[in-house]
Amino acid sequence: MRHESPLMVNVIRHRSDRHGTQGRARSHTPASSRMDGCLTDLPARGRLARVAALRPMFLLVTVFVLTGFGGGSSPLRPGNELSGMMLIKGTAARADLKLFDVCDPVILTSGRYTRKCRAVPRVSRLFIGYGQFDRPRVIDKTWRSPTWAAWLDGRRIDLPRFGTSDRTLVAFHAAGGKSVTLREWRVMLVEASPGRHTLRYRFRDASGVVDATWVFAVRGQ
């Protein structure tokens, strides 16, 4: 099984965190205040990467692999089930919890990443979409450049079938305190089963490839 390397818009040069290679900054869906290291109140760009003039975009999420991470199984589409869980289209606003409020989504350099998340409470609707952010007037252009792929527990997700949605990150610190638009994939996990799971996003653009995997455990009842 072959993997292509890829996650978000152009980024600022920055020292990578311990798990990645040094390169250009990227990231994904942000969270409340500090972006909270998550995807809560921030706007999205597949992976929060840096943008044209704003320059600070970042990747959040797992990475994009063109050839599939889950073997010969067909990609997951809205309404499909996986081990008793179901994937549906949904926005962050309709979720009981955003995964990237619990997991750190910000990635500042190209490379491969594996991150462990805090325990995830069991909720009915868990938003697992990731994306990119940029200035409102250039987010469309930013989003056209990269290629994306994602896997849940090793099974490829058919991202285009889920589509995207935008939200605003006000005074986002990673964007130099400016307000930006976050565009993220509308992927919602319904009735996530207790136990260990992995979410991987792969993103590739002219600045390089980001391949990120988040490992998280859903608590039991």
pLDDT, tens digit, 9 for 90 and up, residues 133-172: 899 999 999 899 899 999 999 999 999 999 999 999 898 7
pLDDT band per the 50, 70, 90 thresholds, residue 221? low
Mean pLDDT over 33-39 rounds to 36
pLDDT band per the 50, 70, 90 thresholds, residue 93? very high
Query: What's the rounded Cα separation, in Å, for the pair 188 and 182?
Result: 17
For residue 115, give the nearest of 195, 202, 216, 45 by alpha carbon.
216
Residue 130 has a pLDDT of 96
* Prediction pTM value: 0.69
Query: What's the rounded Cα separation, in Å, for the pair 219 and 18?
Result: 27
31 in helix, strand or coil? coil
For residue 184, give the nearest of 9, 5, 4 by alpha carbon.
9
